[in-house]
Amino acid sequence: MPKNIVVTPPDVCTLCPRRCKADRAAGQCGFCGAGNTLKVARAALHFWEEPCISGTKGSGTVFFSGCTLKCCFCQNYPISAEGLGKEITVEHLAEIFLNLQAQGAHNINLVTPGQWRPWIIAALDLARAQGLHLPIVCNTGGYETVESVAAWRGSIDIWLADLKYVSAALSAELSAAPDYFAQARPAIEAMMAQAGHPVFDAEGILQKGVILRHLALPGHMDDSFAVLDQMAAWNEADPGCFLPSVMSQYTPFYKAAEHGIGRRITTYEYRRVVNYAMDKGLTMGYMQQKSSAKEEYTPSFDLTGV
């Protein structure tokens, strides 16, 4: 495998909606925490995504360090907020992709990759030249720019994206992003236009398309209803243009209690959200069982596979 692939870090970083203009080439870290050297926290088969992603063999997940959001309830906070990760080369990342394929993964699942896009695209190109043929999943919080979605064209097959909020006040309080919905809505529309309608293989494993997730939060059903209204509007305009996934797995990690959401969602709350989704016609997708809100579903970040 070729050595010493050099990726020039941005000297005025605008990779995400923050457009913080950090001089990452000089070693300055952006708002996301990413600097000039690629960092990965975990690479392993993952069995707890939606069934069409994890299948029976698992999704080949690679968790990248840093995040453009600052969610107070993040279950991955050691890597998203605290910087856990190992510095690696583009060549090593390509080897990780190929190793996950050799383990039988259904796909390569890039978790919070946006801040490392130039490095990842270089690694994907290298791995494909070495025989990587799996679908590539971009697992994102939805806080993207339209330009970033366009830049991933040819590298991403499946968008596994959140639509977390509509309320600017709520997204400011819980994720330090008052412009979350204003950025996520056009970005998700660009994802759907780019990927097209979902396509499955003979085993029911997704090969291309968009899965749009929403995590129901305790005490915020009204905003969940607003999110589902937006999802329903997209589905009504182009039926089947994405797969909805309504999730109950919220667990009060990290600083959640400091922001008024220090409890799990109740069965009553979640049932109301699910019923609302079904009433809106969002039936061709996934609804989690309430039992999914368990800490055991969160992977340990011990640099496995890196």
- 1 vs 63: CA distance, rounded Å: 23
Which amino acid appears at position 188 of this protein? Answer: I
Q: Is 241 annotated as a binding residue?
A: no
CA atoms within 13 A on the CB side of 62: 31
72 annotated to a ligand binding site = no
Give CA separation, 77 vs 115, 164, 223, 226, 254, in Å.
16, 17, 23, 27, 7
Closest CA to 75 of 253, 283, 256: 253
**Full DSSP string of 116-185:** GHHHHHHHHHHHHHTT--S-EEEEE-S---HHHHHHTTTT-SEEEEE---S-HHHHHHHHS-TTHHHHHH
Element (H, E) at 66: none
Residue 13 annotated as part of some ligand binding site:
no
Q: Are 266 and 83 in contact (CB under 8 A)?
A: no
Binding-site annotation, residues:
67, 71, 74
Binding-site annotation, residues for [4Fe-4S] cluster:
67, 71, 74
